[in-house]
Amino acid sequence: MALFNRKNNNASSVATAVAAPEPDPALAALTGDYTIDPAHSSIGFTVRHAMVTNVRGSFGEHEGSLKLDGHNPAKSAASIDVKIASIDTGIADRDSHLVSGDFFDAEKFPLMTFRSTHAEKLGGDKYRITGDLTIKDVTRPLAIDLEFNGSATDVYGNERVGFEGSADILRSDWGLTWNAALETGGVMVSDKVKLNFDISAVKTATPQA
């Protein structure tokens, strides 16, 4: 379903005016503001450890919102705040190191944020949303490839939409440069990190007039 596709605004070379296609009713029905449901969403990462295996982690505390425009999907937007101190890799000592000044310095910079600036359709249910990712005191552009998983009304009557996606970053671009050399060559932690997003969002009720 085309949530983020841009309408072609090129002028027609023919004199006869051509009416714009009617929006997809199912798509138009999704228009509105949504709140990300942290209980049914996950924001995580995968990074190579000691050159031979992957470490996976997630952030247990996050909040955010989506604005979907089914009539003009290019106006859709996303905003996410992630609490760095909620990081969980399954090993407490490693988590403590990650929130320290060697890495995220969570006491000084408690949040990682994403604010979208652009969205586009890639084909089918695949999209790309681009925005500004801020980690510590560094803000850089980030493009996230997403797949729209659909919409549904849950058992409590909430209207939901779902997305999943990922993006590859170099952590050094955001000042996360700590590392340790291995005796056999290489380093303890790779520079490349894969971010993973699995998002369920609930439509905000429209206040009664």
Contacts for 23 with CB less than 8 Å, ≥ 6 apart: 70, 71
Q: What is the pLDDT of residue 97?
A: 96
Closest listed residue to residue 164, CA positions, set 60, 53, 36 = 36
Q: What is the pLDDT of residue 16?
A: 40
Burial of 5 (0-12, 13-18, 19+ CB in 10 A): middle
Are 189 and 178 in contact, with CB atoms under 8 Å apart?
yes
Closest listed residue to residue 131, CA positions, set 195, 57, 55, 38 = 195
Residue owning tokens 């101190």: 85
Residue owning tokens 């990300």: 36
Q: What is the pLDDT of residue 20?
A: 44
- Region of poorest pLDDT, from 28-32, 38-42, 57-61, 64-68: 28-32
Tens digit of each residue's pLDDT (9 = 90 or more) over 167-204:
999 999 999 999 999 988 889 999 999 999 999 999 99
Spell out the alpha helix ranges (H) of the chain: 25-28, 92-98
The helix/strand/coil state of 86 is: helix
What span, in angstroms and rounded, lies between the C-alpha atoms of 162 and 169? 23
What span, in angstroms and rounded, lies between the C-alpha atoms of 148 and 162? 6
What span, in angstroms and rounded, lies between the C-alpha atoms of 98 and 72? 41
- Has residue 72 got a pLDDT over 70? yes
pTM (two decimals): 0.85
Q: What is the pLDDT of residue 124?
A: 79
Contacts for 82 with CB less than 8 Å, ≥ 6 apart: 43, 59, 61, 62, 111, 112, 113
